[in-house]
Amino acid sequence: MTTPILNAIYKRRSIREYTDEPVKIEALREIVKAGTWAPSGLNNQPWRFVLVTDTAIRLQLAEQTRYSHIVKAAPALIVVFLDIGEMYNEVKDHQAAGACIQNMLLAAEELDLGAVWLGEILNRKDQVKQIVGISDEHDLMAIIAIGHPIHHNQSSKRKEINKLIIKEILEAP
Ligand SMILES: Cc1cc2nc3c(=O)[nH]c(=O)nc-3n(C[C@H](O)[C@H](O)[C@H](O)COP(=O)(O)O)c2cc1C
């Protein structure tokens, strides 16, 4: 089956290599807008974003992760936080952040950009917050690295769905 949305879901890959071409701020804002149209519990929209294209800040952020080569190569970063004061349920707010980030990855793909969700950098949450000047009222969820893809050769694998569907409890035909 193919539909535009299914196609985007299946086509999206994590992109970790980028050209030097800058990413337009309008594109970054569109990606964030797509993120904000993700569902959230009670529609509380707890996500907050810092957009970074400044080279000095990107290089400082790159020092905080073992994936520094990706952060250095990416001309743009979206740093994703939860506003702790807006949260009402830890699990549900984290789930909402995941939905928001996935929306942003799909939006980047749709805009012919490449993006990857960086989670390892969460080991250095405090340093990231300090570098981008964000208070302790916010909790770091991820950094999304974004740029124009050098190529589209990325491949990925998925487990077979019949090994993942544990049970089907179906109405008798
Ligand atoms: C919570 C989370 C954290 C991730 N952290 C990293 C990371 O730190 N570095 C990285 O290169 N990729 C990271 N990824 C991307 C995954 O490696 C990638 O999504 C996975 O290998 C499947 O590949 P695909 O996105 O191309 O389908 C992360 C993905 C998720 C959902």
Per-residue pLDDT tens digits for 28-74: 999 999 999 999 999 999 999 999 999 999 999 999 999 999 999 99
* Any atom of ligand 1 within 6 Å of the Cβ of 116: yes
Q: Is the pLDDT of residue 1 over 90?
A: no
Please return the burial class of 132, using the count of CB atoms within 10 Å of its CB with bins 0-12, 13-18 and 19+: buried
**CA 170–ligand 1 middle distance (angstroms):** 34
78: left (phi over 0), alpha (psi -120 to 50) or beta: beta
Which residues are paired to 171 by β-bridges? none
- Taking only the tens place, the pLDDT of each residue in 138-149 is 999 999 999 999
CA distance 69 to 54: 16
CA distance 162 to 141: 31
Angle, CA 112 vertex, CA 109 and CA 113 arms, to 5°? 70
Q: Is the pLDDT of residue 2 over 90?
A: no
Q: Which amino acid is at 147?
A: G
Mean pLDDT throughout 103-118?
Answer: 98
At residue 48, the pLDDT reads: 98
Q: Which domains does the chain have, with CATH numbers?
A: 8-164 (3.40.109.10)
Which residues are paired to 142 by β-bridges? 80
* Any atom of ligand 1 within 6 Å of the Cβ of 118: yes
Mean pLDDT throughout 88-92?
Answer: 98
- Alpha helices for 83-136 (secondary structure H): 90-110, 125-132
Mean pLDDT throughout 120-129?
Answer: 98
- Tell me the pTM: 0.97
Q: Which of 17, 137, 150, 127 is nearest to 62 (CA)?
A: 127
